[in-house]
């Protein structure tokens, strides 16, 4: 069977999420890299795979899947390994909601496209970084409060879930914007995650396209 092909970029937070999930599931895969700053994700060849022109995309099981959370849920439904969504319906909905605080309401409004718009409104780099830090800070505050009743070693008890998979890449982005005031609970969860080989293997600096 041909190994899945991950179309991504080492610095892409959404690609990072998917790399973590693939590693947790023990799925070997190949990588194709697209420099986001150079706009390679908008090439005609890539747009034929994903009309949104966004990474990641994953070629697997004869299909091209897009959107990191949708891909991760597909892997959770079709592959062995640790379950990233709990069996209990209420807790599963809570985990999805926590993941979406990051993936839907925080990360998209501090990505390259939006930062380009912020620059276009006349903000210098200090203003752009302040925008990113504020957006992420508000997301982290909401996430920290949301998971407080459930957190253990990880966001939801002592098992890794989709929420942790989304949190760790966002912490990388936070530091890129110069954030230092990060909730201690989130930092402790990050440390627990990074002690696991799957999270270590997925780190941006450990990717073949890292520069």
The CATH number linked to 46 is 3.40.30.10
What number is the average pLDDT over the span 61-71? 97
Question: What angle do helix axes 89-103 and 125-147 make, rounded to 10 degrees?
Answer: 170
pLDDT band at 1 (very low <50, low <70, confident <90, very high): low
Pair (39, 57) in one structural domain: yes
Q: How many domains does the chain have?
A: 2
Residues 108 and 31 in one domain: no
List the CATH number of the domain containing 153.
1.20.1050.10
At 206 the pLDDT is: 96
Q: What is the mean pLDDT of the chain?
A: 94
- The pLDDT confidence band at residue 48, using thresholds 50, 70 and 90, is very high
pLDDT class of 148 with cuts at 50, 70, 90: very high
Query: Which residue do the tokens 């989304």 mark?
Result: 166
Helix (H/G/I), strand (E/B), else coil: 51: coil
């Amino acid at each position: 069977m041909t190994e899945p092909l991950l179309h991504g970029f080492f610095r892409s937070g959404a690609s990072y999420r998917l790399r973590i999930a693939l590693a947790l599931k023990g799925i070997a895969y190949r990588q194709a890299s697209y420099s986001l700053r150079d706009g390679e994700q908008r090439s005609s060849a890539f747009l034929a795979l994903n009309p949104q022109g966004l990474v990641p995309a994953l070629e697997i099981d004869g299909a091209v899947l897009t959107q990191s959370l949708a891909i991760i849920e597909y892997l959770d439904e079709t592959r062995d390994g640790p379950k990233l969504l709990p069996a209990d319906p209420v807790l599963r909905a809570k985990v999805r909601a926590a993941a979406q605080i990051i993936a839907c309401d925080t990360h998209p409004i501090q990505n390259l496209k939006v930062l380009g718009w912020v620059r276009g409104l006349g903000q210098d780099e200090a203003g752009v970084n302040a925008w990113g830090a504020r957006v992420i800070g508000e997301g982290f505050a909401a996430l920290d409060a949301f998971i407080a009743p459930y957190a253990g070693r990880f966001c939801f008890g002592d098992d890794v879930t989709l929420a942790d998979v989304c949190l760790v890449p966002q912490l990388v982005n936070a530091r890129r914007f110069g954030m230092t005031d990060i909730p201690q609970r989130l930092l402790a969860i990050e440390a627990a995650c990074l002690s696991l080989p799957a999270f270590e293997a997925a780190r941006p600096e450990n990717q073949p396209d890292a520069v």
